[in-house]
Amino acid sequence: MLLRTLSFRNISAIYILIALVAIYSLWVPDTFLTASVWRSMLDNSALVAIVAVGLVLPLAAGAFDLAVGAEVGLGAIVVAWLLTEQGLGPAQAVVLTLVAGAAVGAFTGILITVANIDSFIASLGMSSVVLAAIAWLSDSQQILNLGEGFQDFATGQLFGFTHPVWLALVVGLIVWYVLERTPVGRRIYATGGNLNAARLAGVRTSLILVGALAACGAIAGFAGALASSRLATGDPTIGPAYLLPAYAAAFLGSTQFRSGRYNVAGTLVAVFVLAVGVKGLQLGGAPVWIPDLFNGMALLLAVGMARTQRRARQARAARGVRRHEVKDE
């Protein structure tokens, strides 16, 4: 049992992380091994971590949400717009931003379940609609002067770490609890595992899908609000950059711990592995396009790994079943 838990197949990302740390420690020891580098790395990857954790929900329910990047962008602009144009306080603005993100997610969910549009296409279409909404709200201009108080929201520190790091942990813990420890989580995984079978077992699969996408939208909107707070600016262009890292982390995470299931712990570890990988290369003087290359490669590798793992499981299944199986009509 312990051996299986510690096997490369189960926790490859942890071994990769150890290897990366070892390599960078030898390669660029005087920069890589400083506390400030690690602190900023955690702070930088916190927002991606929040988005990726949110993304685990629809993926577990069997839906792709390609609008997740646009939802981050929407959060960033909506919170800035509410603070400046509408003059709301930070707390109200953030809550309303969450509502906006959830609404976009829920609407995508309705497109999938009621209009019967494939999640891939529905969310791709929605992402374009949301990008248009962002441009309309912001006139494609940055929104400045969000106020001192709001900036503290993302830049303030607690026990040596910035707020986003703690918030990522809190969001991760909540989503983990829901997915792993509650009946709702079980129903989400069942819906993603076999929609028909789940429906015939009495699961309200449409509600689960809409709910998962709405929660993902709200969490992405929250990450967007944090991004605006950190920059003290509502930037209409930041959203799409979150899409690929979040998917890379969620897919890489699905190969960890839970043998093929999208899961929160794996996703958080994956975010961290990717961040360390990129950071070390940057410190070593790698060019600016390295993060894109690294994340893209990681996504492809993760999906490839997931496929291989699945095929290996099926091969084992075939071997195990052949003892009993009877084939006829």
Partner 1 sequence: MNSNQLLRTRGLGKSFPGQRALIDVDLDLHSGEIVAVVGQNGSGKSTLVKALTGIHDPDPGSRIEVRSASGDWLHGAATRAEIHVIHQDLGLIPMLNTVENLNLARAVGSRGWLPTSPRRERQAAKSLIRRFSGDFDVNAPIEKLTPGERSIVAIARALSNWPRPDQVLLLDEPTAALHGDEAARLFEAITRVAEQGAGVIFISHRLDEVLDLAHRVVALRGGRVVADVPTSELNRGKLIELIAGKSLASLDTGNRNLGAPTLEARAIRGGEVDGVSLTVHAGEIVGVAGILGSGREHLCGLLFGSTPRSAGSVLVQGKNLPASPRRAVSRGVGFVPSDRHADGAIMTMPARENLTLPSLRQLRGRLGNLRANAERREATLWANRVELDPPDPERTLELFSGGNQQKVVLAKWLRNQPVVLLLDEPTQGVDVGAKAAIYQLVIDAAAAGSAVVVSSSDSAELAELCDRVVVLRGGRIAAEVQRNELSEARLVTESLEAEISHPTTQPAEDAEEAPYVH
Binding site for partner 1 (CB under 8 A): 177, 181-183, 185-187, 189-190, 193-194, 196-204, 260, 313-314, 316-317, 320-329
Between 116 and 324, name the residue whose CB sits nearer to partner 1: 324
> What is the closest distance, in whole angstroms, from the C-beta atom of residue 62 to partner 1 in the complex?
11
Of 297 and 315, the one with the shorter C-beta distance to partner 1 is 315
Closest approach of partner 1 to the CB of residue 208, in Å: 11
- Length of the chain in residues, anyone? 329
Minimum CB distance to partner 1 smaller for 121 or for 197: 197
Instruction: Report the nearest approach of partner 1 to the CB of residue 246 (Å).
Output: 23
| Three-state secondary structure of 180-234 | HHCHHHHHHHHHHHCHHHHHHCCCCHHHHHHHHHHHHHHHHHHHHHHHHHHHCCE
Q: Min. distance of Cβ 1 from partner 1 in angstroms?
A: 11
Closer residue to partner 1 in complex, CB, 128/182: 182
Name the DSSP letter for residue 161: E
Q: What are the C-alpha distances in Å from 224 to residues 221, 238, 264, 290?
A: 5, 9, 20, 24
Least distance CB 120 / partner 1 (angstroms)? 20
Comparison of 153 and 262: residue with beta carbon closer to partner 1: 262
User: Can you tell me the distance from the alpha carbon of 76 to that of 234, in angstroms, rounded to the nearest whole number?
Assistant: 6
Question: What residues does 234 pair with on adjacent strands?
Answer: 143
Smaller CB separation from partner 1, 140 or 181: 181
Minimum separation from the CB atom of position 207 to partner 1 (A): 10
168 close to 41: Cβ distance less than 8 angstroms: no
User: How far is the C-alpha of 184 from the C-alpha of 190, rounded, in Å?
Assistant: 10
Nearest distance from C-beta of residue 296 to partner 1, angstroms: 27
Q: What is the CA radius of gyration of the chain?
A: 21
In degrees, rounded to 5, the angle at the alpha carbon of residue 143 between the alpha carbons of residues 140 and 149 is: 155
Q: Which among 36, 129, 88 has a CA at the least distance from the CA of 225?
A: 88
| CA angle 37–38–44, rounded 5-degree value | 90
Query: Which residue number, 89 or 260, has a Cβ lying nearer to partner 1?
Result: 260
* Cα–Cα distance for residue pair 182/111, rounded to 1 Å: 27
